Structure 1
């Protein structure tokens, strides 16, 4: 009986083992950047509690919704970058390009998130808020910071391309393409949002999809922006799956999947600019 009772918690421990192992692995790969990403997740959790007790709304959603979404997005960006840094030789992890990537993410991400969270706490808009010269300057600086944040993928992609020899060639290609397209597509869609004066096109007046908030009544430029920014995760994951499934043809398959991903993102951008809803894809 004692042995049987002791064995009962084993499945629960097994469920926890994989996430904990992943957490330890990313912290070993880059402790500073991983610590930053995990701190952002912890702050997002704290703001989630604030959301539960604070009924204030801004533009139809909780004042804490935008800070939480940005904290989670930048946190994932930081953790993914930390993971890829771990694919480099030890000497390259401390080279100037990677130090620029590491501290560039922390500086630009910290600045943007700090201002977004402050504005949320004040019940005021952070984006497209030109109500005073101060808010206009801060909005402009956020745009510069966001562009600089996504640009950190470029030196990291170059380092992986040149020094990531420990990766399967197809997976290395997927990582490099994912990082490069994160800047090209993610920043490109972000610039389109700024040029348009907001993310909504057409009759985008509905509450949108849960959590994401994407409009289902009109065009929403956040969709291609989301696809672009998360090429950093999606294409390397696809590459890993292709290497496991078809190792000999994986490199060609990575090129094909990446091309389809670009077409999907451009189609989402064109759809949004035409004022067509998400379900029109």
Structure 2
């Protein structure tokens, strides 16, 4: 593990700024009682700031693992930090103005700000893609670590890509036929208007589909898959099977496949206009298949291979 002082400086500084913004937004939630689109007006900057904090720190660490293209990686990380900062600034400005930041076409200023946000998201996504390609080419000695990191960043790209789907006019908006003059184009929810009944804290719809769910799940693979490997390494001294790097690699591959399947499942559920907490039979059947496949994969990953032996060093540790 590289010392944090070697991590990508602009991303670390951005993460620190977002940590402060998380606290500021938390105070806003307590003292500002304004409601916007069915939620406390400071909830959006609070969630974005918290998410950006962990996202930026994960990328800042991953950039220390590059063995080739370090300069390109530094610039890509800096682009991600700056574009994210601009996006966060626009969200905050709109909160101060009492206006929605996303999908807002009510006035020329609102439309311009939302368009600027769209540009920053594309730049952020492209910068992360460059980092993902560099990580794919990096020579990371531990294969389990390499696949946890690579799977995490590519799933994060897929989750971020859901944001582009949200900006498209909904079926109801197209049916209304007034896209040239509409105040709102695009939505988080599917099948119901934004701002309806929702889950606490997350704000995800409880009456329709919500594309923020796969967006959230996918993006945080960036942290959760490397964290899963860290848990395996931490447990290795207590469980002999986990001391074998091949076992850890197989478990990471199973976890990556399961995570991708869950991301696809919640995307499919949301696009059908179905709330996360009210799955139908088809969704439950698909979830059961994912669970069964994950269990089978885990069993296969942990099952001793015939004709293989524990390395002598690991035998000594085990004894």
TM-score computed with the length of structure 1 as normaliser = 0.82
Q: Could you tell me which of 42, 49, 54 is aligned with 1:76?
A: 54
- The counterpart of 2:216, out of the listed 219, 223, 226, is 226
* C-alpha RMSD over aligned residues: 2.3
Counterpart in the other structure of 1:198:
187
State whether residues 144 and 249 of structure 2, in contact with CA within 8 Å, keep that contact through their aligned partners in structure 1.
yes
- Does structure 2 conserve the Cα–Cα contact (< 8 Å) formed by 1:150 and 1:187? yes
How far 1:86 sits from its partner (Å)? 2.4
- 2:36 maps to which residue? 58
Between structures 1 and 2, the one with greater helix share: 1
1:222-261 to 2 correspondences below 5 Å: 222-242=212-232, 244=236, 245=242, 247-261=245-259
Where does the alignment leave 5 or more consecutive residues of structure 1 unmatched?
A: 1-21
| SS class of match (1:225) | helix
Aligned match for 2:19, one of 36, 41, 46 = 41
Q: Which runs of 5+ in 2 are unaligned?
A: 171-185, 237-241, 284-319
Equivalent residue, structure 2, for 1:122: 97
The number of residue pairs the alignment matches comes to 254
User: Over alpha carbons, which structure has the higher Rg?
Assistant: 2
| TM-score, length basis structure 2 | 0.73
Contact persistence 2:208–2:274 (CA under 8 A): yes
Deviates more, 1:234-243 or 1:134-143: 234-243
Aligned to 1:137: 112
User: Secondary structure at 1:209's aligned position in 2?
Assistant: coil
Residue pair 2:36, 2:99 contacting (<8 A) in 1 also: yes
2:130 is the counterpart of 1:155: yes
Q: Output aligned runs, 1:166-205, within 5 Å.
A: 167-183=141-157, 185-195=158-168, 196=170, 197-203=186-192
Please state whether the residue corresponding to 1:86 is helix, strand or coil: helix
**Alpha-carbon distance between aligned partners in 2 of 1:161 and 1:102, rounded to the nearest angstrom:** 16
